[in-house]
Structure 1
């Protein structure tokens, strides 16, 4: 009798009803019906869970001695496989780095099939790299001198892996959520695994000569247009080898900043500027420093760190990533920078702790830079900004140079009337606040939108009153950017960036809206091609004027003048071809597909009108194809109606009180009392916006 009972199989044993899968995941009490009441109420599929009744009495010990739960067996097998894979990765790395030394130590293991042979190590390139004892040099991680023996770092890494106990999946399920390590988080956000610290300063990317060159590039090409650091302190740290601010040597925060500076500087160099003496391609150097920066941010724990320098490094890595990657990865990671900044109270004018004047200025600069990336992301993807306008207007940076506020300075310096290191940043800060005002839901009234543009022009006029564009190339670049922003804001005021059902634009007479949008495209080409703006051309490439291109194409679709279409066609088509690879998600994204369909309608319109277009009608308007036609009644407006800025044009040494001589204006041609007359072009633009948001 006892023997027959012992031989009963688990399948014939009575079943015990457990909580269903849904109730177990939601951690609620299950009534164990089939289906349970909770799943019925939620409309979910109830998956019952059963197990064999546990043995009792005298059969318990004999059953327990022979029974091996299937789940425990599977868990142990999976854990064992994972350990073996990590062990293989550790020794494969050793075999790759130490060559013959490793082959003399572990040949028997490879022959026995425990480890993969050297010829198969390439197939294991996806395994995680081990982190051993490393020495930092020049911002990179450098391994200690290779040895012919398996050193302490190998065995420490191996024991760290093997000493972890087997995980019980049942306990893990009920113990709550676990937090992913930072390396897994960065791998998920960037799509790249963290690199190995086993490198050498003899590699091209780690040479002191390249790092010195990248530091100078950052100070001349990145720092002027993206001002978040203190240049004298950075120069002392990277060029003179002094400690950065108050940090000790080899701290994670300054090391992360060092890598981010090198990475952003490499991203700002074009192929034409890349020095051939480096010995490596631009793409390989950028990829290497990107992974170096990601690894340094992981070591600095950038997600939970309260260090302002770590956040500065993270923001620098974001702008570098955006200049190279058109996907939404940088857009998604920007939200992390916003939340970390809020955790540091950067959005509060007076934080609830004591800070020096130097720290206050660095905080303001960093918060303004995050706001700039935020508005760039919203423009790039036609989405709403995350940061409120009031958070930026309350504490803008001061118009001071870096020399006016040394490290540790506790007295707030007086603002300067001249062109300082922060003038460009202040102008951009005012511009992004104006753009936020134009995109707010309550700004559907034209007088409010016009006031936003006028407010920006007034502020920029005060900042640029001592600008010397003929003497200083960066002053010339700043003036061109101010002109471009002022023209773009007028266009945004008349053609919103997002679909607004309650907004109906006023009538703009003639082809002035077309001329305004084409003028913006011409200014973009000037910034891109003029040699005076080459050092900062990378920054201009981040802000793609797709909005001006869309308005220009929509206006062409509604234009009945064949000669006018031919005059502006080359400019519009050239911008269309160039912007396709620069917009968000490139030509496969949600922005460019509607643009292609709108361009197809414009081409069809042009082909239709070309049937009646003759060379005589074109010669009647024999001006330059980049300049608008001026009738006698429009001569009084000739100053503002679309005069293009060419590379050979020049401005006086000081722009005086009238900085907008080359800025187009349409306000004189707007009939604010007549709404909805030019319905065709407005309808074309509305169709484009609706198509983009589908």
Structure 2
């Protein structure tokens, strides 16, 4: 026979004495004090049945006002503001930037766009809107993509706990201590120095060597060092090819990446990243996020990077160590870390099509000195002279010079500058970087060739963005000549080719892992938008072949960068294919189709399409760097 429930027992035996932690239902409804006896005194006095709630906690009631009340208040405030300014009322009393109409594009003074569709809104910054906004209105698809971006898998839901989004991590360690044996860490540290350190110069390698020696006999390192070592291991595994991962670790790369990804996240949570004042923990987090862009969810990386900026400000990295009286060594290490945070912020913002969080005026940290980390040590009493030529920090310096000169001061793509002024801005920076750094690079050395190629791609991108913005100006803007349009079209094709070369060049294959996370979507979008309007010529046929080949590789690659723009680019591919099919004579269309997978026109092999020999530019000297900018 079933046992009576707790409430039934109280009714059957009203004289039974017991105590509860919560008030009975009647007292709770009346909002009076309950003595919590069974039955309670007030219910006995009123002659009513005394029933106590179950053991579960009562649901909390939200004290916030309903949405309708908030909207009503917003309308009242905007009406007051409208009366003060004397401006006409907007539709429905709401600002035009948040209108609920479907498929609405709103452009502010900075050329950014807010896309509103079916109650969803998505802001797109200057760079994305300059390339896509006025060519083909595919930015409308971004709102429909926002839901899919939020559908994280189980692995995403358990990662990034260290930033405090999902609470304290109570999951068991995903790695056994055997994975942290000195021999395993030494192997991965060796891989890190070859594959990662030349591109991400955050760590002081001699200090990490010393740390590994100190931890060789310590099974349980302190949380800060454990987080840093696991971040190094994660970065090394991300940089390895599947074949190399099996040779070094005896397991496939995807399994190892997931293990060390979660282990690093857990280690950062144990190190209490949010409250940590240890620079090693911050170094681990920045390195982790930079590498997570390659194999992780970039939406989460973008959100976590904002927390990293705040933690860095809490540790004072936004203030130059020289002004704070720090040693030469600490000053340089902090500079390197801060400017890599700036790079992370720029990359994450580009992935999501938003403006960067870091802006000029919020920091005074100087650029790092162009010296190798091997000449830096804690007891340094005098700063070494900067090297003329390549060091392990040269790539970071060049990237940050471009960010500081073209993105921060005047919002390059959003500033009201003429096309000539924008071109001159890029040219002057290109000449300065060439004279100060790039002309001293030896292009016969693979890593230095890669530095020069990355600099060229970044400068060409800035020039192309200037062209996109000025070419989409209204009637008041200057008209673009056909020669200028052709120049930008050819440059975009060249950018795509060089980007592909970074991914496939055998001499730089150990660094391709990072370059694959740099999708040149802006150049692809510009080429596709031009193919929608240009006639069928050998040049446009070649451009279509280049774009379709790179697009196939994007589809095959599992990198999640620029997810927001995947659907708009796909729509542009369809538009360009249909446009080319409509322009193609019928006899040329026989046996072919306008699908993305099959380029229209005479087919060519991949090696012919993207061969370095077809660039028409000398790779033995630095002239090719600025040639398109002259």
TM-score by length of 2: 0.67
Aligned residue for 1:559? 534
The yes-or-no answer on 1:593 pairing with 2:567 is yes
Alpha-carbon RMSD across the aligned residues, in angstroms, is 4.2
The yes-or-no answer on 1:227 pairing with 2:204 is no
Q: CA deviation at 1:382?
A: 1.7
Give the Cα separation in 2 of the matches to 1:393 and 1:494.
31
Structure-2 change in CA distance of 1:591 and 1:241 (3 Å): same
Aligned residue for 2:628? 665
The yes-or-no answer on 1:489 pairing with 2:462 is yes
Give the Cα separation in 1 of the matches to 2:238 and 2:470.
29
Q: CA deviation at 1:429?
A: 1.3
Q: CA deviation at 1:509?
A: 2.4
Matches within 5 A, 1:276-355: 276=247, 278-349=249-320, 353-355=324-326
Structure-2 change in CA distance of 1:272 and 1:557 (3 Å): farther
* Equivalent residues of 2:368, 2:397 under 8 A apart: yes
Partner residue of 1:459 out of 422, 432, 456:
432
Aligned residue for 2:86? none
Aligned residue for 1:685? none
Give the Cα separation in 2 of the matches to 1:184 and 1:282.
20
Aligned residue for 2:236? 265
Structure-2 change in CA distance of 1:505 and 1:553 (3 Å): farther
Structure-2 change in CA distance of 1:540 and 1:501 (3 Å): farther
Structure-2 change in CA distance of 1:53 and 1:367 (3 Å): closer
Structure-2 change in CA distance of 1:298 and 1:509 (3 Å): same
SS in 1 for 2:480: strand
The yes-or-no answer on 1:196 pairing with 2:172 is yes
Gaps of 5+ in 1: 1-6, 11-48, 79-181, 629-641, 668-694
Aligned residue for 1:123? none
Matches within 5 A, 1:93-242: 185-186=161-162, 189=165, 195-197=171-173, 200-202=176-178, 205-206=179-180, 208-238=182-212, 240-241=213-214
Partner residue of 1:365 out of 336, 360, 368:
336
Aligned residue for 2:501? 526
Structure-2 change in CA distance of 1:586 and 1:433 (3 Å): closer
Aligned residue for 2:597? none
Give a deviation string over 1:91-129, Cα, whole Å, max 9, x none: xxxxxxxxxxxxxxxxxxxxxxxxxxxxxxxxxxxxxxx
Structure-2 change in CA distance of 1:190 and 1:578 (3 Å): farther
* Equivalent residues of 2:500, 2:610 under 8 A apart: no
Structure-2 change in CA distance of 1:478 and 1:353 (3 Å): closer
Q: Kindly indicate whether structure 1 or structure 2 has the higher relative contact order, using CA contacts under 8 Å at least 6 residues apart.
A: 2
* Equivalent residues of 1:345, 1:351 under 8 A apart: no
Give the Cα separation in 2 of the matches to 1:192 and 1:542.
30
Aligned residue for 1:674? none
SS in 1 for 2:244: coil
Q: State the aligned residue count.
A: 485
Structure-2 change in CA distance of 1:375 and 1:197 (3 Å): closer
Give a deviation string over 1:579-610, Cα, whole Å, max 9, x none: 346698579x4312221222111111211222
SS in 2 for 1:70: coil
Structure-2 change in CA distance of 1:614 and 1:307 (3 Å): same
TM-score by length of 1: 0.62
Aligned residue for 1:126? none
Give the Cα separation in 2 of the matches to 1:217 and 1:322.
19
* Equivalent residues of 2:546, 2:610 under 8 A apart: no
Gaps of 5+ in 2: 1-10, 15-27, 61-157, 590-600
Structure with larger Rg? 1
Aligned residue for 1:436? 407
* Equivalent residues of 1:514, 1:556 under 8 A apart: no
* Equivalent residues of 1:252, 1:296 under 8 A apart: yes
* Equivalent residues of 1:55, 1:63 under 8 A apart: yes
Aligned residue for 2:513? 538
Give a deviation string over 1:236-262, Cα, whole Å, max 9, x none: 323x44699xx9983221121111111
Give a deviation string over 1:530-557, Cα, whole Å, max 9, x none: 1121111111122111000000101111
